[in-house]
Amino acid sequence: MSKEITFEGAQWEAVSHKEGPMLVLAGPGSGKTFTITHRILHLINQHKVDPSNILVITFTKAAAMEMKERFENLRNGEPSSVSFGTFHAVFFRILKFAYRYDARNIVREEQRIQSIREMMGQFEIEVEDEAEFVSSILSEISSVKGEMMNLDHYYAKNCSEENFKRLYQGYEERLRKMNLIDFDDMLVMCYELFTQRKDILSAWQRKYQYILVDEFQDINRVQYEIVRMLAAPENNLFIVGDDDQSIYRFRGAKPEIMLGFEKDYPEAKRVLLNVNFRSTKDIVETAGKLITHNKTRFPKEIVTKNGSGKPVVTRMWEDPQEETVEMVREIMDYIKAGYTWSDIAVLYRTNLGPRLLIEKLMEYNIPFCMKDAVPNLYDHWIAKNVTAYIRVALGELTRANVISIANRPNRYISRDALEFSEVNWESVKSFYQDKGWMVERIEQLEYDLKLIRNMAPTAAVNYIRKAVGYDDYIKEYAQYRRMKPEELLEVLDQLQESAAGFKSFEAWFNHMEDYARELKEQARTREKRADGVSLMTMHSSKGLEYRIVYILDANEGVTPHHKAVLDADMEEERRMFYVAMTRAKERLSVHYVRERYNKKQDVSRFVREYLGRE
């Protein structure tokens, strides 16, 4: 161990730990990777442990690569036989030996999507948002496997139980027929292999005598059960994580597992890395006030040796338009003061959050890079329905345009009535000449379209929603899809908010094209572009740090999200806000708005909690 390295007391206790289970609680910015890599070095140098007997498990490939690189740097670049890998990589390696699997046996993402799509046709499951539905079903299948749940007692989230069961079983049959496995099968099969073949298990136990798990708060049930089997009987299990930063419940992560670790291992030692080397005192203390409102957590006092810094700024704006204009001005002031674009990050709760800001950054030519693919609002099926209404009103009577509005809401217009590539309303009425009530419906639609043609964009969207009855259609659809109607109505609110900025349909449609171009350009250069303001969701910000951080729209319903109903959901939302706050090194600004979509908004309870104004 080189002399110039100094450890905090708690860090040294973790680094020098040799045998038996240890729980390392690592607060934000507390040098977690530093501690793990130095502990591996200590095991090899001081305790003469064979490097090939050490296994380090992370959650992402990038984290495994970074950990390996950091460790090899400590050894002056000398390669090592320590195993670094994700849960999936480690467990697939075990299956390779047992079942002679290779990469060809892993199902490709497009094959998974295709199989669900085909079964939807087979079982006549019709949805408006096919891509969204397919990805929701696949992640639901994943969580059923990861939690080892019994399908007979499972309440489906995206469709009826009967349909989910058919999709789940059909998906499994298709994989087995093609001799393919998905990422969740790797876990389940590894669990079954170890349970049934003690000889194979003991061979791997001899191989991996020291196991270190990073980001342990994100572990799910089946991953934990396998790691426990692998670590036995010596239980040299060194787990590192922060229960306050567990934000992946939707992927099956269970912070309760970390909280119960000492029950499973009563002999486990616990160490708290409570010195934050990243943020100023003001940021650390403000974030600390927030997270203490969670009940299900290890109590901990995080401190910093950094100075007080600038106080955390909490600001209310009249509406999102004012919020984005002022933020852009402030960002430009930071640049004039000597900060770089890449010193700054803007964090938001969901991917719908940054649209107005992106438009404003484009307008001012401010470079930005997005960590997540932001969905194009105008590509959403709901937005396409609304713009189809406007296009038809303007005389673009293509069959495709008319089909996408004819029965939204349902007017019982048959596709057979729309037989030509250009639709003529007179011929549609003559198709229904013996049904007076249908002719009336079509005349009502014609009347609505005539009115829409002469409206300003925002009035047109409002008329389609309220007078034509599109909002009611959306509420019915949400019920069918087991979604909260707010999720879909928010798309309409966003669309109306966007329309408000334009006086004519032409100007609005041109803007949509420019916006789509910018998002495509962002997607193309996402990996390469380094110098720009970083825009990302709170989820994606985990593990990163910036000198200046903005949290956008800290309002009830946004963060905490309106989907959060149970106590466990609310605690997860609070942890997400805590993660966002602790990304800031020097300056943190939290913004909320008084009004949005012409409705009064409440400030987030999280803001009230850290300000002590509950």
Give the residue numbers annotated as catalytic, written as ranges.
Answer: 32-33, 214-215, 245, 583
The helix (run of H) or strand (run of E) holding residue 130 is helix 130-146
SS3 5: coil
Query: Whole-angstrom distance between the N-terminal and C-terminal Cα of the chain?
Result: 50
Q: How many residues does this entry show for the chain?
A: 614
Distance CA 327, CA 344 (A): 11
Q: Three-state DSSP class for 548?
A: strand
Strands (E), 128-265: 210-213, 237-241
- Give CA–CA dist 465/571, Å, rounded: 35
The HSE-up count of residue 72 (CA atoms within 13 Å, CB side) is: 14
3-class DSSP assignment, residue 89 = helix
In sequence order, the β-bridge partners of residue 270 are 23
SS3 127: coil
Cα 480 to Cα 126: distance, rounded to the nearest angstrom = 10
b/e map of 345-366 (b: 16 or more CB within 10 Å)?
A: bbbbbbbbbbbbbbbbbeeeeb
**What are the structure tokens assigned to 592, written together?**
């909320």
Residues 589/331, Cβ–Cβ less than 8 Å: no
Q: Percent helix, strand and coil across the chain, each rounded to 5?
A: 55, 15, 35
d(CA 289, CA 613): 11
Tell me which long-range contacts 253-260 makes (C-beta under 8 A, separation of at least 24).
Answer: 253/217, 253/218, 253/219, 253/220, 254/219, 254/220, 254/221, 254/224, 255/217, 255/296, 255/297, 256/296, 257/216, 257/219, 257/220, 257/221, 257/224, 258/23, 258/216, 258/217, 258/219, 259/296, 259/297, 259/298
